[in-house]
A and B are shown apart, each in its own frame.
Chain A
Amino acid sequence: MAQEVIFEARHMHKAFGPTIALKDVDFTLRRGEIRGLIGENGSGKSTIMSIASGMQPATSGEMTYLGKPWQPHNMIESQHAGISMILQEANTIPGVTVAQNLFAGREAEFSKLGIINMGKMYRAADALLDKFGIENIRARDRIDALTFEDRKLTEIVRCVDDDTQILVVDETTTALSLEGREILYKLIHKMAGEGKAVVFISHDMDEILEQCTDLTVLRDGDIIGHLTRAEMDAPDAVQRIRYMMVGREIGEKYYREDYDPSCSPEAALVLDHISFGPIRDFSLTLHRGEIVGFGGLSGCGMHEIGRAAYGLEKLEAGSVTRNGAKIKGCLSAIQHGIGYISKNRDTESLILDAAIQENIVLPSLTSLSGPAMFISPRAEKKMSDEQIESFRIKCGGGSQYVNTLSGGNKQKVSFGKWMAKGSEVIIMDCPTRGVDIGVKQSMYALIERMKKEGKAILMISEELSELIGMADRIIIMKDFEVTKEFTRSPDLKQTDIIEYMI
């Protein structure tokens, strides 16, 4: 059932100076398709669609959209023409309401004689949100009061309207909560059903296999292959896709292979009957050489537990202690060998507008300071180069700015900070968010190595497969309370866990 072609690119080529991002690729998109684009960071999967949506021009090649030559100059032009792209980063306007965000640039529709009828705008916004099945966000909410996940959802609502012909979802799902993902999935299937087209760019293979009707695999700027739905359902599909993406066998080893949940009896971090905000009387003992996983929906309180363990939350009762010393704030946490990797990598764990080296050495500056407070540039470089080397951070050197790195490499920098500091307890919140398979695999290997070295790890994750694969103990939370605790076992299935989450 070959559908009508909606978009086509011929000999699309994109070069940044001497490096080639896209090598003369041909790409065809048909109506009714949910096309998955998968590939490692830097494979060119986002580049294709960013050119199609006018974010950047191609170096050469032609595009056809709705049967006519297509040469967008910017994203607004594309959006008016029906190609909308939802980007990875948050792009909402702070300081105003949800409705003002939704209708930014379209105020004229609600204005009379230059005065905006806000009541009308709020009603229209609520109706729009209802249409998408979003109930927890309301038009009058201030955008800043929303969580990151809900802001992302707001953005999706803004991007899509009845005239949207092609929706590009660029690694957005990693930034959404489970409920948000369901809303997005429903939307893309509805659009495909209406004969529109969706391009779904993601790192998450499970998600791609579940949602997409077609799949294109890219590697190093080349289209490597194309899979139909039938091929995606084949039993060896996952191995085949991984092989196509990486270009070599990445091996079976992905998660930990042992099922031995034992660890040292020595406590590394103790959360003793802590209460703050909606969290009441929570206790946990994390041992040396133990990986404790936290799972749940995004609003279940697990992220807050991670923050509290690092001294970021003001406790109303109880205490966080390490080796008998009370953790009062980040500074004392760091001094006692605790490291924290926030789930908001780009806004909290890293300084994007700074060099790799400046990020890596930041928590270690005190220990690098010598007499007269002198910090030797050589010592700084050595410390940072060691981490770049050991994590194989893909960069031109420690002086390269972090904002030029890919998601996976950025995350390696935030791990490197705490490795350089020699932290013994690492709290990691969504450590593999927005990271591709190759990097994920090396991170899992690193986490396993850290466990063997006797480090204690608190791993908070929205990916159940990751928790099952890595953690010794899995604590499931719902509505700020622990609903169930699982011990590492080969028999543990996602389905067993999910019922305690929802």
Chain B
Amino acid sequence: MNEAVIEKSSRSPLTWLKKHSAQAAAYSGLLVCIIFFSIVTPMTGESIWSINKLSTLMQNVIVLALMSVGAVFVYALGSMDISIGKQVGLYATLVVVLGNATGSLLGGIVLSLVISVVIGAVNGAAGEVLHIHPIISSLVFMMVLTGVSSITYNSLGSRNVALSGVDVSIFRQTWFMLLALVVEVLVVSYLFYYTKLGKNAKAIGANAVSAQQSGINLIRYKMLAYIIMGVCVVLASLFQMGYTASASDSTGTGFEMNVMVALILGGMPLSGGMRSRISCAIVGSFTYALLDVGLPMLGVLPNQVFVIKAVMFLVVVVLTCRKRGGTLPR
């Protein structure tokens, strides 16, 4: 390759677009959704921009967005966590059960945070210490937590448990959802872009050997990334619990996959690294939620929504995956 030449041409708009193709595709996905629903929904009745629909949208997006923003830290490492869903279930249950027992959410929240830190630390360290892929340890947690939830609900004698005596209606307020999301995005963005935590996580994802030789303690920064995600998952589970003021043995099921889909829709590279951005979580979550809210308004049946989501997902992935043209595939 003629390197010097590529160096000079890196500023033209076309190369910029190529470099940021993942971003461009993801943003255009969201943009297309917004424009499409803005034009089409008023024809079939209520506009998607009505206060009513916007609050539905917010309810749909909040839990996913809160989780995904934190998960950016873990995805930046080039790994993923599939115990997220079961963690949400556990934390929601804890908050409800302890809330009923003590009359306050505080005990449940503190205990959830402690557990999330422990799970995060173990998930983060397992890869380095035991030389296994971090997905494996999160898979173990998924199974363990499924067991815990099963035992808990068996002993409760019911498949769900409702919160009584504590007012959690604030978690259903649109303004509070927005506030929580904005605060979380600000805090996590600060950690991700302006501190060693994020910079090191991205460096590890981009090249762990090089990161290590540059003095990054791999175990420590992997653990911290998982812990940050864990704290965000606790926050998300509060809104999940607050929505119905209850928890059940199926709370959170499949959330880990929603997070993965949202991040990929948002243009997050699955290999992690320097191109990881917090905005991927926001863009992806909102695209996902817009489809969820908008499509049924057009009379699309819920099971058909999945098909459309799948197509959309495929298009974004095809557009964002980078190809090596010309070189022998070997």
Q: Using a CB–CB distance below 8 Å, which chain A residues touch chain B?
A: 14, 16-22, 41-42, 44, 46-47, 50, 54-56, 74-76, 79, 87, 91-93, 104, 221, 310, 312, 330-331, 333-335, 340, 342, 347-355, 358, 362-363, 365-366, 369, 372-375, 377, 394-396, 400-401, 404-407, 409, 417
Contact = CB atoms under 8 A, between A and B. Distances in A.
A125 B14 CA distance: 45
B213 A342 contact: yes
Nearest to B209: A348
Interface string B1-25: 1111111111110110001000000
Contacts of A363: 214-215
B154 interface: no
Contacts of A354: 202-203, 206-207, 273-274
A16 B2 contact: yes
Interface stretch (B233-241, B289-297, B322-330): B322-330
A331 B1 CA distance: 35
Given A14-B2, A375-B195, 13 more contacts: A47-B2, A334-B215, A350-B210, A351-B273, A351-B274, A358-B202, A362-B210, A363-B214, A365-B200, A366-B196, A373-B194, A374-B195, A377-B194
Nearest to B329: A76
Given A46-B1, A46-B2, A74-B328, A374 B194 contact: yes
Chain B interface mostly helix, strand, loop or mixed?
A: helix
A43 B270 CA distance: 36
B210 A331 contact: no
Given A351-B203, A351-B207, A375-B199, A16 B6 contact: yes
Chain A interface mostly helix, strand, loop or mixed?
A: mixed
B211 interface: yes
Q: Please indicate which of the listed interface residues A93, A330, A366 has the most CB atoms of chain B within 10 Å of its own CB.
A: A330
B212 interface: yes
Interface in B166-214: 191, 194-197, 199-200, 202-203, 206-207, 209-214
Contacts of A352: 207
Interface string B209-253: 111111111000000000000000000000000000000000000
A354 B205 CA distance: 11
Contacts of B327: 55, 75, 87
Given A55-B326, A104-B330, A374-B195, A348 B5 contact: no
Contact of B5 (A42, A55, A365): A42
Interchain residue pairs A-B with the least CB separation, the first 3: A42-B4, A406-B3, A334-B215
Contacts of A335: 215
Name the interface size band of chain B. Answer: 35 or more
A333 B215 CA distance: 8
B8 A312 contact: no
A20 B5 contact: yes
Contacts of A310: 213
A372 B197 CA distance: 12
B77 to A, nearest CB: 13
B4 A351 contact: no
21 contacts: A14-B2, A16-B6, A18-B9, A18-B12, A19-B9, A21-B2, A41-B4, A54-B326, A74-B326, A312-B213, A330-B213, A351-B207, A351-B210, A353-B275, A354-B274, A369-B195, A372-B195, A394-B4, A396-B8, A407-B3, A409-B7
A417 B214 contact: yes
A330 B208 CA distance: 13
Given A348-B213, A362-B211, A374-B195, A353 B206 contact: yes
A394 B1 CA distance: 16
Contacts of A375: 194-196, 199
A22 B4 CA distance: 12
Q: Please indicate which of the listed interface residues B8, B210, B211, B327 has the most CB atoms of chain A within 10 Å of its own CB.
A: B210
Q: Please indicate which of the listed interface residues B3, B15, B19, B214 has the most CB atoms of chain A within 10 Å of its own CB.
A: B214
A335 B191 CA distance: 23
B248 to A, nearest CB: 39
Given A17-B12, A400-B10, A405-B3, A349 B213 contact: yes
B304 to A, nearest CB: 39
Q: Please indicate which of the listed interface residues B3, B15, B191, B212 has the most CB atoms of chain A within 10 Å of its own CB.
A: B3
Nearest to B207: A351
Nearest to A377: B194
Q: Please indicate which of the listed interface residues A79, A104, A351 has the most CB atoms of chain B within 10 Å of its own CB.
A: A351
Contacts of B1: 46-47, 50
A150 B270 CA distance: 31
A87 B163 CA distance: 66
A347 B210 contact: yes
A156 to B, nearest CB: 14
Contacts of A347: 207, 209-210
A409 B330 CA distance: 27
A276 to B, nearest CB: 18
Contacts of B216: 331, 362
A42 B197 contact: no
A52 B328 CA distance: 14
B195 to A, nearest CB: 4
Contacts of B207: 347, 350-354
A400 to B, nearest CB: 6
Contact of B7 (A91, A331, A340, A404): A404
A38 to B, nearest CB: 15
Nearest to B269: A353
A16 B203 contact: no
Interface string B99-125: 000000000000000000000000000
Contacts of B275: 353
Contacts of B7: 42, 394-396, 400, 404-406, 409
A349 B210 CA distance: 5
B217 A373 contact: no
A228 B33 CA distance: 65
Contacts of B330: 91-93, 104
